[in-house]
Every structure is written in C-alpha cells, then in structure tokens.
C-alpha cells in the first residue's frame, strides 16, 4: 500500500478525458499537497500505450498541465485496488469500475457528483474526434468540477497521509 493518496480517473479510451483530469488535478494538488498524492488514469475500453490526443494535450495547456508523456492503459482490478479514490467520467464508467472490481464500490464516484455517492447523473461528454474548442470546453468542465471538490480531495489526502 502506498504512503501517497492515489486517485484514479476512468474514461473510455484513456486518451482524452481521464488524462486531462489527471493533468488538471495535478496542477491543483501540487499547490496544496505536493508529494502526498499520485494521480493515474485508465480506460474501460483502452488499449495500452497510446498517447493523449493532440487536442487533449493542447487543451491541458490552459492550466499549464503537461500530459504529453501520457500512455493509455486498460482498466484492471489491480489498478482499481491500488487507488484510494476512483472517479468515472460517466455513469457507465462507474458501473464498469464496480463490475471489474466489486470491492471498489465505496471508493468509486461519478466526477460531477463527487463527493456524493450517487452513481447516476450527468457525465462528461467524450470530445474524441471533435474540435480543439470542444476539447477546451471539456478540459474547463473537468477543471471546474475538480475545483469544486478540491477541498474534499485534500481532506482525504490529509486523512491518509497524516493519520
């Protein structure tokens, strides 16, 4: 078990939304809890070793987040088990996380509902194949929800790393 608080973001192909969420949360947490966290991502239908899309990389620069070295990976139970907090981009991702690793139910959330445990609700739309403007909107949407829940994420990091 890691000393760091581990957050896992899940989307479909692991080349757009979840890598952008990793980049955004790193920027937010490096100001708050440097060295006390690890952020990862995976895809429910991802192949291994693909980079983030060029537009995802570009959109992440809005917050000076660098995801250019990202490599996609498929969602697995060992990855889920490593995480202290698992956040899905859509209700379908949340359902898939729990299907793959039943014990993950208590630590799995829908991004737009976190920290509420409700698994139904609005997801973050996949920008794949769309314009840079759409990617920028998606990145800012993800960043907005992470910003709203940052206090709770920091509280959970402190609970694990100080307790």
CATH number, domain at 109? Answer: 3.40.50.2300
pLDDT at 137: 98
Say how far apart CA 73 and CA 14 lie, in whole Å. 7
Say how far apart CA 54 and CA 130 lie, in whole Å. 11
For the record, the structure tokens of 135 come out as 């990617």
Give the residue numbers spanning the domain of 132. 5-162
Strands (E), the chain: 5-11, 37-43, 85-88, 108-110
Q: Which of 26, 99, 106, 126 is catalytic?
A: 126
Say how far apart CA 16 and CA 8 lie, in whole Å. 14
pLDDT single digits (tens) 111-140: 999 999 988 999 999 999 999 999 999 999
pTM: 0.97
Q: Which of 16, 17, 84, 101 is catalytic?
A: 17
66 is known as an active-site residue: no
77 is known as an active-site residue: no
CA angle 9, 10, 14 (to 5 degrees): 105
pLDDT single digits (tens) 45-86: 999 999 999 999 999 999 999 999 999 999 999 999 999 999
Kindly report the length of the chain.
163
For the record, the structure tokens of 35 come out as 């060295």
Look at the chain and report how many structural domains it folds into: 1
pLDDT at 93: 98
Say how far apart CA 137 and CA 24 lie, in whole Å. 13
Helix (H) or strand (E) holding 113: none
pLDDT at 162: 87
pLDDT single digits (tens) 89-101: 999 999 999 999 9
pLDDT exceeds cutoff 70 at 1: no
119 is known as an active-site residue: no
């Amino acid at each position: 078990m890691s000393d760091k608080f581990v957050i896992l973001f899940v989307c479909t192909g692991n080349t757009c939304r979840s890598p952008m969420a990793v980049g955004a949360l790193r920027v937010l947490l490096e100001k708050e809890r440097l060295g006390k966290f690890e952020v990862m991502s995976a895809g429910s239908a991802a192949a291994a070793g693909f980079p983030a899309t060029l537009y995802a990389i570009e959109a992440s620069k809005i917050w000076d987040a660098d995801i250019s070295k990202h490599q996609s990976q498929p969602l697995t139970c060992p990855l889920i088990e490593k995480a202290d907090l698992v956040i899905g981009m859509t209700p379908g991702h949340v359902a898939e996380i729990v299907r793959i690793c039943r014990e993950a139910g208590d630590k799995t959330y829908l991004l737009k509902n976190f920290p509420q445990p409700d698994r139904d609700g609005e997801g973050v739309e996949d920008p794949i194949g769309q314009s840079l403007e759409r990617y920028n909107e998606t990145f800012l949407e993800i960043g907005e929800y992470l910003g709203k829940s940052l206090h709770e994420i920091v509280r959970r990091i402190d609970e694990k790393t100080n307790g």
